[in-house]
């Protein structure tokens, strides 16, 4: 099937927007005259700074893990690979000029999407509670963190770009945690299937998972 920009994110159609779609949309804004070429490059440079802060946040999580000694080197290498892909993607976008070959946009899209996939995979590893020697990332009270940043954005204490970064981080963290919650429920169903006469064990697995989710979100339900 032929590749079309509207199918693959240059018009905002990525399945998981995160930070990638806004970057790819910059070219469309420039073509429509909403951004000058100088502003286009400036936005990409600002995004590079945001990605570096995200990299630092995840690196701190890896380095702070007390049970990650056997895995830390591999995780840090994966982190480097992830953000190298994102950096290469942004460098491709910087090459593009209106009216010239659109190959840099296509290559940038591929690299950025792959980088986002790798980021999600790495975050999921840190969120798993069944990986030997790997503790969960200590993200708690996520909703309060996001609403606090929303207040800061409203008061002008952080830039709109920084707020977008925070929301994207929250989306990534939530997606990884919800994947873990789904696995917990699958294990609970497996226990119930294997021992229907002892539903207590399955119920405990569900309750523990819900408690973790409540702590993670910081919401009482």
Rounded to whole angstroms, the Cα distance separating 213 from 18 reads 21
Rounded to whole angstroms, the Cα distance separating 86 from 81 reads 9
| pLDDT band (50, 70, 90) for residue 18 | low
Residue 166 has pLDDT above 50, yes or no: yes
Cβ pair 194, 187 in contact under 8 A = no
This prediction has a pTM of 0.57
User: From residue 29, how far is each of 9, 34, 48, 163 by CA, in Å?
Assistant: 13, 5, 19, 20
Percent of the chain with pLDDT over 70: 80
Give the number of other CB atoms < 10 A from CB of residue 30. Answer: 20
Q: What is the structure's pLDDT at 4? A: 33
pLDDT digits 0-9 by tens, 107-121? 988 898 888 888 877
Cβ pair 105, 24 in contact under 8 A = yes
Cα end-to-end distance, the chain, whole Å: 46
| pLDDT band (50, 70, 90) for residue 92 | very high
Q: What is the structure's pLDDT at 1? A: 30
Q: Quick one: average pLDDT of 52-69? A: 76
As a whole number, the mean pLDDT across the chain is: 77
Residue 94 has pLDDT above 90, yes or no: yes
pLDDT digits 0-9 by tens, 131-156? 443 333 345 678 888 898 899 899 99
pLDDT digits 0-9 by tens, 193-217? 998 998 998 898 888 888 878 877 8
pLDDT digits 0-9 by tens, 40-49? 999 898 888 8
Rounded to whole angstroms, the Cα distance separating 173 from 9 reads 22
Rounded to whole angstroms, the Cα distance separating 48 from 21 reads 14
Q: Quick one: average pLDDT of 62-67? A: 70
């Amino acid at each position: 099937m032929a590749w079309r920009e509207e199918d693959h994110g240059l018009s905002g159609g990525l399945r998981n927007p995160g930070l990638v779609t806004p970057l790819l949309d910059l070219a469309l804004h420039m073509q429509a005259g909403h951004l000058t070429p100088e502003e286009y490059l400036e936005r990409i440079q600002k995004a590079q700074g945001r990605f570096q802060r995200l990299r630092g946040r995840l690196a701190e999580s890896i380095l702070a893990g007390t049970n990650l000694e056997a895995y830390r080197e591999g995780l840090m290498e994966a982190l480097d690979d992830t953000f190298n892909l994102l950096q290469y993607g942004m460098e491709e976008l910087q090459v593009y000029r209106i009216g010239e070959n659109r190959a840099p946009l296509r290559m940038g899209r591929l690299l950025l999407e792959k980088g986002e996939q790798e980021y999600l995979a790495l975050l999921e590893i840190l969120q798993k509670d069944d990986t030997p020697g790997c503790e969960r990332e200590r993200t708690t009270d996520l909703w309060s963190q996001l609403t606090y940043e929303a207040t800061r954005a409203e008061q002008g204490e952080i830039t709109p770009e920084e707020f977008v970064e925070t929301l994207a981080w929250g989306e990534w963290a939530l997606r990884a945690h919800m994947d873990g919650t789904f696995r917990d429920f699958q294990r609970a169903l497996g226990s119930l299937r294997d021992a229907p006469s002892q539903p207590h064990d399955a119920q405990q697995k569900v309750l523990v998972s819900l408690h973790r989710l409540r702590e993670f979100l910081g919401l009482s339900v």
